[in-house]
Amino acid sequence: MLLREDVAENLRFMCLEVTRQVENSQKVLDHPDGKLIESIQTRDDYIDNLKSVIENECFGAINRPGTTKRQVDLLRAVTTVAANLERTADHAVDIVDQIQYLKDPEFIKRYEYGKFYKEVLSTLDLVYKAVSKLDMSLAFRICRSEFALDSLYKVQFDRILGELRSGAETENLITSHLILRYLERMGDALMNVGEAVIFAAVGEKFKIRQYEALRENLAKSGVEIPLSDVEFKSIWGTRSGCRIGRVSGRETRQGETPASGVLFKEGGRRKLLKEKENIERWEAIMPGLPPRVLSHQQEDAQASLLIEFLGGCTLQDVVLSADMEILRNAFFLVEQTLTEAWERTKSFGPGNADYLGQIHARLEDVYRLNPSLRQGTRHIGSHEARSLEDLLVDAVPLEPELPAPYTVFIHGDYNINNIVYDHANQQIHYIDLHRSKQTDPLQDVSVFILSNFRLPMFDPAVRERLNWASCQMLRFARAYARRNNDATFDARLAMGLARNFITSTRFELNRKFARVMFQRGVYLLERLVAHRGRPWTDFVLNEAVVVY
């Protein structure tokens, strides 16, 4: 048993006390009794104290030397369980407090509250065993109680709503609704209990919908990893709003891993289905470039994907730490891959990436994080430093004058951590493809350059490597443009860089660094606006603007 004896003992007492409170609240509804109501209200303090004792024991144990991650996860889960058991007991008190507002104590019985109590009490009976044994099947059963209680509540709520329209028994109807609502909210607390047990067992926080999606995807894909043996490692740093993690089997005693792992993504339906569609399109364009989709599920507004986990490392890892020979080799493959992708998907005809529209769409988020960047027109001696808003107005005519001569199917979020370098197989892979589309290739180029620039790495040696990567991409893209008679390359890239310099500040907490990026974006827009009226073929973008 992983659970410490002192914690286990107090948790057992708490489960018994909360069950008793819930049982007694049902007895009060069955037969109102002033002494029993007083007893329920008095026992509430004891349950609060038990929760505090459990929390203190868990926090103390977490900080003891030698406590393993698995023990820490369990102790964290127990604090969540205790908090939600206490909340369940509070709802029992809330229910008996409502009794006084029933003009007819028998009125509430018409709404079959016994079914609610049966579900809650049977679930509470599972809690201690689920926690002490880290039983995933019991955790799943505890979570499901929330759905059962929601369903019971919906039936009675609709009935009460219909009866309220008659205008009769208003006080009794409203009070009955509140009582049933507290019973339904017990389900919310029990859901948190079940998810806490899943967290302790799996090692990551999972919503029950994510657990179900993972289970269904594993079954559908044929990946043989029993859920009891799942090791889930979240991939942090994503701003996509999706839950992303690597799923693999737990290591055996011999240190062997039963499966190399897959990638699980769960989030908004539209975004993930778009990613699936784009992966399939990329696979048709360049087989092996994207990961394979092993399975997918969709339900209401949510969807999930089980994706092949690609070997290798991100290009960001290569840029930051690999030998220069490996870095040069990786860039050779990146350039080769881009050339092939652009050649296969090139479509001649004007294209517009709408860089100014992208700035407008993100500007409020920029100012929300860094309000000091919002400044009006200023005068420095005889020089006028115009506000970004004024510059954007003057820049409106630029994009119609600067159409891309051809479009390609781009990655859409071409950060260096979305490019995977497989050194062993000498291959590049693309990941996180939900934004892929047919447009100006310079959108990917500008995003790539800024993904190097905005990394908060200020060590001179590291910064030199990042600058090299940015300049290398600029030279490659410029050479490709010249071979394809792209006469407005520099001007369009300046606009794309302006977009990325400005909008990247919405993620930058370092105010000084945010201002550097913001001002470079403004500077590029100023140059573009000032150049208007002259041939765009004369506009030159200096490499110095992409290095820090």
Using alpha carbons, list the distances in angstroms from residue 399 to 129, 353, 355, 363, 427. 65, 9, 8, 18, 36
Q: Name the CATH topology of 313-546.
A: Aminoglycoside 3'-phosphotransferase; Chain: A, domain 2 (3.90.1200)
Domain boundaries, the chain: 5-201, 209-308, 313-546
Burial zone of 47 (CB within 10 Å; 0-12 exposed, 13-18 middle, 19+ buried): buried
pLDDT of residue 317: 95
- For the chain, list residues with pLDDT below 50: 236-238, 251-259
CATH classification for the domain delimited by 209-308, as one of 3.40.640.10, 3.30.200.20, 3.30.70.1110, 2.40.37.10? 3.30.200.20
pLDDT of residue 234: 55
Do 209-308 and 313-546 show the same overall fold? no
pLDDT of residue 217: 62
Using alpha carbons, list the distances in angstroms from residue 494 to 220, 346, 386, 526. 47, 22, 18, 11
Please give the structure tokens belonging to residue 240.
């996509």
One-letter amino acid of 272: L
pLDDT of residue 252: 38
Q: Looking at the domain that runs over 5-201, which CATH code has it been given?
A: 1.20.58.220
Q: Are strands 437-439 and 404-410 parallel, antiparallel or unpaired?
A: antiparallel
pLDDT of residue 254: 41
Select from 529, 502, 501 the least CA-distant residue to 364.
502
Please give the structure tokens belonging to residue 429.
């892979």
CB 200 within 8 A of CB 74: yes
Please give the structure tokens belonging to residue 305.
């994907």
104-125 confidence digits (pLDDT tens): 999 999 999 999 999 999 999 9
Place of tokens 């479009």: 407
pLDDT of residue 303: 87
pLDDT of residue 44: 92
CA distance 493 to 448: 12
